[in-house]
Structure 1
């Protein structure tokens, strides 16, 4: 796996999580669950990719 694209992905995902946490009051209630679920899945994938790159 390309380390440069992995680093970019991790940075973008962590920034997305931070933006969702800081702006959660401005999101319509019907979109909150979907956005939170998407952010959790992306952050989990980022950590899985980090562990995979350390073990490979």
Structure 2
């Protein structure tokens, strides 16, 4: 796995989550639900990548 791509994905996932939290009042309700779900999935996958990278670091 290319570490550059992983770092870019992690930064983008957390940035999307931060933007959704900061702009939650201006996003339309139907769009807000799906964006929140997709952001949550991306953040969980980013945590998985971080943990996988840390475990792989030891080998």
TM-score class normalised by the smaller sequence: over 0.9
SS of residue in 1 equivalent to 2:9:
helix
Structure 2 length as normaliser, TM-score?
0.89
**Greater length-normalized contact order (CA 8 Å, ≥ 6 residues apart):** 1
What number of residue pairs does the alignment pair up? 56
Q: TM-score, length-normalised on structure 1?
A: 0.93
Let me know the Cα RMSD of the aligned residues. 0.7
4+ long deviations beyond 2 Å = none
Structure 1 alignment gaps of length 5 or more? none
The structure having more radius of gyration, on CA atoms, is 2
Structure 2 unpaired stretches of 5+: none
